[in-house]
Structure formats: C-alpha cells, structure tokens
Chains A and B, each alone.
Chain A
Amino acid sequence: MQIVLAILVGGAFGFVLDRIGATNPNVITGMLTLRRLRLMKTILLAIGTGSILMFGGQMLGLVEVGHMSVKAAYIGVFIGGLLLGAGWAASGFCPGTGVCAAATGRRDALFFIAGGLLGAAAYMATYPAWKASGLLADIAGGKVTLGTVPGSAYAGIWAVSGDLLGIVLGLVFVLVAFVLPEGIGGGHVQEMPAE
C-alpha cells in the first residue's frame, strides 16, 4: 500500500513541479534573480494552502497528527542552506527538480544528478568531522515547531496553539503570495520557450 501511495503522490508531485515551471532552470533562475517571481508566488501559495489544510484537518481530527515529521534545528541547517542556495542558483536545480528535469530530457540535469550523488557521498565521508564539530547539535530545542501542536511529538517554542498558529501563518503565506509582484525589473528570457 505504501508503495502505491509513493507512486501516486510522487507521480503527482513530479507532474505538478513540471507544470508550475520548477523543472525549468530559466524559471528557477528568474526567481532567484528576483526578475520573475511567478514561481515564488506559486510556492508561497502552496506552502500556505498545505499548512491551512494540514492544521485545519488536525484540528477537526481528520488528519493524523502523528504524520507530522519535524526536522531538527542546528547550526548546520543554516550552513547547509547557504551551500544549497549557492548551488541552486548556479545550476538552476534543487534535488527534486533536478531529478524531474532530467526526466524531461534536460542533459544538464543529468550532470546535476551525477554531481549530487558525488556530493552526497562526500558528505557521507566527512560526516564524522561535522558530528565532532558540534555544529549538528540541537539548538532551540532541536525538533520544534513555532507553536505547540496538540498531540504531536514535538515541543513548541511558544505556548500558543500550534494548530491555530499554523493556520494563521498559512494565511500569511497566501497573503504574501498575492501581494508579491510578478517580478522586480529587467529580464527578457521567456519562461517557456515557444515550440
């Protein structure tokens, strides 16, 4: 059953990533240079929509709170984010969209995946040094959510209802998605070359 769900949800995710332009390095780069922000609007709306549905569903008892999976906070999250950001901007791919872009026939995405496999292997080899450095040690409680979600395995930073805060933040994401302009100056590359 899990495998069937993996095929259905994974397939839908890949399909939608392609349809919103996320498999296209022109679109990703346009977003990261702030010239074309349509994808940013899409992603913000998606995070907001997902958040409202998930926390709303949890409040109504329709969504299993135990399905939440919160990752730990540590200094390495920030350093890793910086590294990922630099490579993301240079290549126009992130791990998921790189795999999807390769499937659409983009040759550079195959090189991205090859580099990614080597990069992951390099991390596997250097993991003990990171571990010893203390940069992987939990900060601010590690696996925490901003509010306190009833019935979840994770602590909250603030005592406010994590469900309500999740819905409020979800609405903020949606609001920002609508307020954000479609682009900030410049740019002439077509997002989807005509053919």
Chain B
Amino acid sequence: MTLDWKLGGILLGAVFFAAVLLVKPIGVSTQFVILDGIVADAVSPDFITQTDEGWTSTNAYMAKSSGKYAASAAGPLNYGFVFVLAMAVGAFLSSMLRGGVPLAERRAPEIWRANFGDTPWRRYAVAFAGGFVVLYGARLAGGCTSGHMMSGMMQTALSGYIFAAGAFLAAVPTAMLIYKEG
C-alpha cells in the first residue's frame, strides 16, 4: 500500500520543510557515531570526559568541533538522537497500520529471493557488509541520503550535489550487477 507518488512526495517535502522551519534540516547518520560513543563510554568510562568548556573524547573524531559529538553521546536525550528513535516509532506505526510486513519479506526481501533463492543468511551477511560500507562512507562524506542528498540539495548546498553524484554513480551499476532479476 504505497502512497501515490504525488501525495507521498508532497508529504515528504512537507516533513523536510517542517524540520527546517521548526529546528534544522533532517540528518541521520551522525547518530550511528553517537550510539557508538555511548557504547564505547559504557565499556570504557574514560572514552568521553567533561572539560571546563564542555566535553571531549580520547577519539579524535568524537572530540572534533569542540567535542560536539562527545557532548551528544554524553547526553543522548538531545534532538538528533531522539529524532532517529522517533523515526523508528513512526515507521513501526505506519507498518502496523498497513497490516505489517509479511513474514517471508521479514526473512528476506522478495528481490533477494528472486536472485539468490531462499538464502536468508547470505542476505544478512550482505546487509551487514552493506551497512558497514554505507556508514563508513556517510561519515567520510559528512552525511547520508537524508542530510546530504535530501536536506542538502533542498538548500542548494554544493556538497549535496557532489554527494548525490557519487552515490548514484556507484549505486546504479552496483544494483544492476547484483540484482539481475526482479
């Protein structure tokens, strides 16, 4: 039960607009770093420490920009982190209201099965490796599909266009190569 693209596009655009009107443009991938920081600090409490001016970390990336990531990991009840948790709740509610995702789909998506048969563990391995590359790339780029592509191009940011060019240049041939069926 996918929305008509015109209605869906206007609704999604309205959400982008609401975000920038009320707070700031949407972004997601930073929160993977924040969760890593929370976990690292739980395992090793010296990972994030308080200073006279704010927060810092033994990790140079967490400590950059005057420790803004370290501060977010130290106090996860902040806008960006709660935003991503709320996204999960919103998607969950939407999927429940449309009757939920069928069990076979939850095991492995149809396009995977069409190409590689009933091999859910191979699918999970590819999803894991894909997640690794996606987040490594997103952090190198300083943003992901949300922050760079959608929010960035919406604001006519040069970086958004550079990112989108790179992403589609790699994504289209990769998708065509892997998923020949479906």
Q: In the assembled complex, how far is the CB of residue B147 from the closest CB belonging to chain A, in whole angstroms?
A: 7
Task: Look across to chain A and name the residue whose beta carbon is closest to the beta carbon of B3.
Answer: A19
Report whether B162 and A85 are in contact in the complex, using a CB–CB cutoff of 8 Å. no
- The DSSP consensus for interface residues of chain A is helix
Contact between A14 and B94 (Cβ–Cβ < 8 Å)? Answer: yes
- Is the interface on chain B under 10, 10 to 19, 20 to 34, or 35 or more residues? 35 or more
Give Cα A144 to B52, complex, Å: 33
How far does the Cβ of B93 sit from chain A's closest Cβ, in whole Å? Answer: 6
Expressed in whole angstroms, the Cα–Cα distance for A166 and B88 within the complex equals: 31
Q: Number of A interface residues, CB 8 Å? A: 133
Residues of A near B163 (CB, < 8 A) are 77-78, 80-81, 84
A46, B9: Cβ atoms closer than 8 Å: yes
Interface mask (B20-44 → A, CB under 8 Å = 1, otherwise 0): 1111111111001101100110000
Q: In the complex, are the beta carbons of B62 and A124 less than 8 A apart?
A: yes
Closest to B25 in A: A69
Instruction: Report B97-137 CB contacts with A as 1/0, cut-off 8 Å.
Output: 01111101111111110100000100111111111111111
Contact between chains at A119 and B134 (CB < 8 Å): yes
Q: Is B143 positioned at the interface, with any CB of A under 8 Å from its CB?
A: yes
The chain B residue sitting closest to A157, CB to CB, is B158
A-B residue pairs in contact (CB < 8 Å), sample of 27: A17-B12, A18-B94, A20-B11, A23-B95, A45-B5, A57-B17, A67-B23, A68-B155, A69-B24, A80-B137, A83-B133, A85-B171, A86-B137, A89-B175, A95-B146, A100-B88, A100-B91, A104-B100, A108-B120, A119-B133, A119-B135, A121-B40, A123-B135, A124-B59, A130-B140, A145-B156, A192-B2
Residues of B within 8 A of A (CB): 1-3, 5-6, 8-29, 32-33, 35-36, 39-40, 59-62, 64, 77-80, 82-95, 98-102, 104-112, 114, 120, 123-148, 150-160, 162-172, 174-176, 178-179, 182
Going nearest first, the 7 A-B pairs with the smallest beta carbon separation are: A81-B166, A49-B13, A80-B141, A45-B9, A91-B130, A83-B137, A115-B131
